[in-house]
Structure 1
Amino acid sequence: MNTLTQIYTARVADGTLRADPAQEAILPLFDRLHAELSTASMGKRGLLSLIGGRKKPTAAKGLYIWGGVGRGKSMLMDLFHEHSPVPSRRVHFHAFMQEVQSQIFEARKKGVSDTIVPVIDKVAADIRLLCFDEMQITDIADAMIVGRLFEGLFARGVTVVTTSNRVPDDLYKNGLNRQLFLPFIDIIKDKLEVHHLHSPVDYRQGRLTGTPVYFSPINADTRATIDEIWNDLTGAATESLTIRVKGRDVVLPKFHNGIARATFWDLCGQMFGPGDYLAIADAVKLLIIEDIPRLGRGNFNEAKRFVTLVDALYEAKVRVVASAVDEPESLYIEGAGVFEFERTASRLREMQDKDWAKDADA
C-alpha cells in the first residue's frame, strides 16, 4: 500500500494536485497513522482483537487538522480515508452529531438508562477509523455529550481524524455552560495530534477568481452556470446537511466539504431566525443561494429573513454565489423595508468582489 506521501506526490506529478509546502508538511503525520492502523489490522485484527476478551481495543493517536478555509484540510483527509487500511467512515461533524442525538432519543424511548452507551457501541462495532469534516460545536445539546461520546469511542478502539477551522481551545467559544465542555478539549489534545495547516493559499477562493458569483436574470443559462460551479467545487455531491438548532432542524439540501447549495425558499421560506442563520454561517464557508425573487410587500417576511441571512453570512465572511431575478439594488424597490435593504444590497455587491473574504479564517 502506498503512503499518503507517495499518493500525493503522484497526483502532483500528473497535475491533479498542486504542490503546497504546508500540505506536504502534514503528510508524514498521515503516513504515521496509516502505518499504525495497518499494523493494528494485521492478523486477527492484531491490537484491535477482542477475542476472548484477552486484549482491549487500542485506538491509534488520531489527528486534528485546523486552519483557514480552502487550504486543503478536507482534501488530505479524504485521500487518507480513501486509502484507509481499516473499516472507516467519513462524515461531516454536524451530520454525525445529528445522528447521535437521534439515536439517543430512540434509546431514551426504549427506557435505556445510559443512552450514550448503545450509540458508542454501534459506531465501534462497524468502524475503526472515523473521519470528521469541519468539527465545530454550536449546539449546547452536542456540547454536553461529546466528552463521553469520544471517550467511549477511544476506549473501544476507534481512531479519529478531524478537520476544523478552529484551534481546539476555540471550540464552543462563548457557548452556554462552556465550563462543562472544557474537559472535551483536554481529551482532544490527549488523543489527537493537533496540527495547524498554515497555507497562504485559499484554493477554494482561487477556483472562483475571475468567475462571476452573482447571476441575473434567472434563466436556463444561469442555472447551467450554477450547476457548473457546484460540480467543479464539489464533484456534483448530492448529500445534505442537517443542523440542529435549539431542538429544530435546519436543512441544507446539498452540502460537501463546507460548501452548501439551497434555494431562497429553502433558506427564507421557513420561520428561521437569527440563531438559525448564525448556525448556517458557522457550518458553511461557501453558500450557493438560488432563485432570489423580487422582494417587497408580497413576501415581506421572507425578505426580512433574507436580510438577516445576508448579515450573518457577511459577518462570518462566508463566500456567496447567487442567482436572482435582478441585480442587488433592484431586488427590493417598493414597500416597507426598502431603506433597510439598501445595506443588504450593498453587502451583496461587496461580497461579489474576488478578494472579499480571502483572508477569512473562520
Structure 2
Amino acid sequence: MQQRLVDRHPEVPADQLIAQMVPPPTFDEVSFASYIPDPAEPSQAAAVAKAEQFAAKVNALHKAAGKKSLFGKKKPVSGAGIYLDGGFGVGKTHLLASTFHAAPEPKSFGTFGELTNLVGALGFVNAVERLSANSVLCIDEFELDDPGDTTLVSRLLTELAARGVSIAATSNTLPQQLGEGRFAAQDFLREIKKLGALFETVRVDGPDYRHRDLPPAPDPTAPEVLAERAAATPGSTLDDFSELLDHLSTLHPSRYGALIHGVSAVFLSDVRPATDQAVALRVVVLADRLYDAGIPVTVSGAKLDQIFSAEMLEGGYRKKYLRAISRLLALSRFEVKHAATA
C-alpha cells in the first residue's frame, strides 16, 4: 500500500531537540579543504580563510574558558562571531558545517527556525543553560520573521556570547537589514544593531551552484505516471498537495524533519501556487527539511518554480521563497536523473 505523509503524526520529545542539532546528512563529511572556491569569485577563497581562522579562534576560546584563575574560578571569556553573507547556493552552509566539524564538543548546528523552535520547546532559561556549555552555535539561514523573534534571538545570542559561546551564522541578508520588509524594523533597530555587533560579516559572492549549467524547472509529471513511479519506488510517499498543506498546519514545524524520516522519495500530485503567507512559510520549512535529508521530489500539476504565487514572491519573504524554490528544483533534478539511470 502506498505510504502518505498525511498519515504520519510524529512526536519529537523536547530533550531530543538538542541532540539532533547537527548538520544535515548532506554536510556530514564536508571540510574547509573540500570547499572548492570559484576562481572568478575571490570572495569565496577569502571566506574559506576567514572561516578557518574563526574555527581556530573557537578552539582557543573554548580552551581558555576551561582554565581556572589563581583563585580557582573559570576565567570569563566572551564568544566570537562570524556572519557569512551571500546569495543562494554559494557554499555558505558548507563553510558553516565545516566550522561545526572543526570545533570542539559540545556544539550545536541548526537553522534559524530550528533554533526558535528549540527555545519554544525548552523555554528560554532552559535553552540558555543547555546551550551555554557549547564551544559554538552554528545558525544556518539566519532570518528575523517577526518582532518576537528579533527580541528573543537578540537576548539568546547576547547571553550565550557573554557565557563564552561563539556564534557562526549564514544568511543572504546583512545583519543590519534583517527584518526589512516584514515588520516595522525601525521599532526594533536597537535589537537588530545589537545582533549585528556580535558578528564579523564575511561576504561570499557567486552564482547559485545548484543552477550552474542546469536546465530550467522540469515539466510536471502526468498524474497517472506520478502514481506509477511512486508505486515503483520503495519507501516513497504520494500525497495530494493540498491535503499535505492542510496536514502541515496541524504539526509544529519542529516535527517536519520527523515527518519525512526514512522516506526515500516524495511524490506530490496537483501542485498549485501557495497564495497564503502562513501556508507558503510551511512549504519553506518542509523544503528545507527535504533538502537537508536529500529526498528527491517529483510533482504533477504546476512546476516547482511556480509553487509560490507572484504576490508571495513580491513580498517581504521573497528571499526565503526563492531559497525554497532553489532547493526544490535541486531535489527535482536529482529525482529526474535518478529515474533516468535506474
TM-score, normalisation: structure 1: 0.58
Aligned-pair CA distance for 1:119: 2.2
- Does 1:212 pair with 2:218? yes
Aligned-pair CA distance for 1:96: 1.2
- Does 1:57 pair with 2:77? yes
Quick one: distance in 1 between partners of 2:37 and 2:259? Answer: 24
1:27 maps to: 48
- Does 1:120 pair with 2:128? yes
Q: Is the 8 A contact 2:109 2:138 kept in 1?
A: yes
- Does 1:157 pair with 2:164? yes
Aligned-pair CA distance for 1:76: 1.2
User: Greater shift after overlay, 20-29 or 87-96?
Assistant: 20-29
2:86 maps to: 67
Match of 2:208 among 202, 207, 211: 202
Q: Is the 8 A contact 1:39 1:46 kept in 2?
A: no
Aligned-pair CA distance for 1:23: 1.7
- Does 1:87 pair with 2:106? yes
Quick one: distance in 2 between partners of 1:267 and 1:145? Answer: 35
Change beyond 3 A, Cα 1:212–1:174: closer
Matches within 5 A, 1:304-323: 309-311=308-310, 315=314, 316=318, 317=322, 318-319=325-326, 320-321=328-329
2:190 maps to: 183
Percent of aligned pairs with the same amino acid: 22
Change beyond 3 A, Cα 1:71–1:280: farther
> Secondary structure of 1:166's match?
coil
2:143 maps to: 136
Instruction: String of CA shifts for 1:136-183, please: whole Å, max 9, x gaps.
Output: 111343223122111111111111101001111221113335344322
Aligned partner of 2:277: which letter? G
Aligned partner of 2:278: which letter? D
- Does 1:249 pair with 2:252? yes
1:97 maps to: 116
RMSD of the TM alignment (CA)? 4.5
Aligned-pair CA distance for 1:224: 7.8
- Does 1:36 pair with 2:57? yes
Aligned-pair CA distance for 1:26: 0.8
Q: Is the 8 A contact 2:220 2:300 kept in 1?
A: no
Change beyond 3 A, Cα 1:121–1:278: same
Change beyond 3 A, Cα 1:189–1:150: same
Quick one: distance in 1 between partners of 2:51 and 2:259? Answer: 25
Aligned partner of 1:276: which letter? A
Quick one: distance in 2 between partners of 1:177 and 1:313? Answer: 19
Change beyond 3 A, Cα 1:18–1:213: farther
TM-score, normalisation: structure 2: 0.61
How many correspondences in the alignment? Answer: 264
Quick one: distance in 2 between partners of 1:35 and 1:18? Answer: 20
> Secondary structure of 1:160's match?
strand
Aligned partner of 1:25: which letter? A
Change beyond 3 A, Cα 1:44–1:159: closer
Change beyond 3 A, Cα 1:132–1:120: same
Quick one: distance in 1 between partners of 2:173 and 2:121? Answer: 26
Gaps of 5+ in 2: 1-30, 237-247, 333-342
2:277 maps to: 275
User: Greater shift after overlay, 175-184 or 33-42?
Assistant: 175-184
Quick one: distance in 2 between partners of 1:253 and 1:290? Answer: 19
Q: Rg larger in 1 or in 2?
A: 1
Aligned partner of 1:167: which letter? L
Q: Is the 8 A contact 2:138 2:169 kept in 1?
A: yes
Quick one: distance in 2 between partners of 1:223 and 1:312? Answer: 35
Q: Is the 8 A contact 2:87 2:205 kept in 1?
A: yes
